């Protein structure tokens, strides 16, 4: 009996596979390009080559599976929302057909509100598809990824600033993707939990953007300021950087949902939702080297 991971090359999927292999579990990964997971195969993983859009690929991966980790991959395409929901529904249907009993779904804060939350809008339907298909499902409703700050490398390096539409006084949960992978591994390795549940994954503490800027100032060794911008300025900045208008629109919708509270966590912070990696630790090990490289270029 194996555990299937559908995104073995991402910031969450890869460390998750590594943790499962370290625990001695049989792991099956789905990959279009097997050479990218050759190191995982050497460590004992089985690879099914193909796309998560294809029933035959899912059938090959799910045969004999006891558990599944499902992450809806991001994609810059005009039909992203329908595409992601269709993939989730197909995977849930095939999981049911193969008797997969335990599913861990990567979700997000704000998923409880469904439509109108930009790219997060797809996650509630995906949660519900798996809940209808499997007896034991946990939806990991994760906070803002610390890795998203890597999008700000150029503005940090050149302008010493981070830009967003969020109010200066609004705190939000920030979490390292490595900690999300660790939480997913906990649920996949523990066979004692049952039923359908939601689990927040919130990082060590909620932060405001000025607090983020203060932490980055200390870690990066340069002044960093937070600049709040309007939604239209945000849209113009994204399209000016080359993002297609349809993609900018969906992110602007998400930031609008942040402003009106629809991206707030439904799950209260608790000992169980709090994860260890601090923003300072993440910034020193992951963000700082990239910013320094950008400064030098």
Q: Which pLDDT tens digit goes with each residue over 245-264? A: 999 999 999 999 999 999 99
> What does the alpha-carbon distance between residue 19 and residue 236 come to, in Å, rounded to a whole number?
41
> What does the alpha-carbon distance between residue 155 and residue 138 come to, in Å, rounded to a whole number?
37
Answer positive or negative: Cα dihedral of 22, 26, 31, 37: positive
pTM given for the model = 0.96
- In Å, how far from its chain's centre is CA 96? 24
Q: Which pLDDT tens digit goes with each residue over 169-206? A: 999 999 999 999 999 999 999 999 999 999 999 999 99
Residue 49 φ then ψ, to 5°? -80, 135
> What does the alpha-carbon distance between residue 294 and residue 297 come to, in Å, rounded to a whole number?
5
What CATH fold (topology level) applies to the domain 2-145+175-201? Answer: Rossmann fold (3.40.50)
């Amino acid at each position: 009996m194996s555990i299937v991971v559908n995104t073995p090359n991402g910031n969450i999927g890869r460390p998750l596979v590594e943790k499962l292999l370290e625990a001695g579990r049989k792991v099956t990964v789905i990959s279009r390009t097997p050479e990218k997971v050759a190191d995982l195969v050497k460590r004992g993983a089985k690879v099914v080559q193909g796309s998560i859009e294809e029933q035959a690929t899912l059938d090959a991966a799910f045969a004999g599976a006891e558990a599944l980790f499902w992450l809806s991959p991001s994609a810059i395409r005009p039909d992203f929302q329908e595409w992601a929901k269709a993939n989730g529904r197909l995977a849930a249907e095939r999981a049911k057909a193969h008797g997969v009993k335990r599913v861990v779904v990567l979700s997000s804060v704000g998923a409880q509100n469904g439509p109108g939350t930009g790219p997060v809008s797809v996650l509630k339907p995906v949660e519900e598809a798996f809940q209808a298909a499997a007896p034991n499902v946990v939806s990991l409703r994760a906070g803002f990824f610390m890795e998203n700050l890597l999008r700000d490398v150029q503005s940090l390096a050149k302008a010493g600033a981070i830009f967003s539409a969020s109010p200066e006084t609004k705190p939000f949960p920030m979490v390292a993707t490595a900690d999300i992978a660790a939480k997913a591994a906990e649920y996949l390795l523990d066979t004692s939990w049952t039923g359908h549940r939601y689990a927040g994954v919130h990082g060590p503490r909620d932060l405001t953007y000025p607090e983020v800027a203060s932490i980055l100032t200390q870690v990066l060794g340069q002044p960093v300021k937070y600049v709040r911008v309007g939604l239209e300025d945000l849209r113009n900045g994204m399209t000016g950087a080359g993002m297609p208008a349809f993609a900018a629109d969906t992110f602007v919708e998400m930031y609008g949902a942040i402003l009106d509270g629809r991206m707030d966590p439904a799950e209260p912070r608790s000992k169980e939702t709090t994860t260890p990696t601090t923003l300072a630790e993440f910034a020193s090990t992951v963000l700082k080297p990239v910013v320094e490289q950008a400064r030098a270029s």
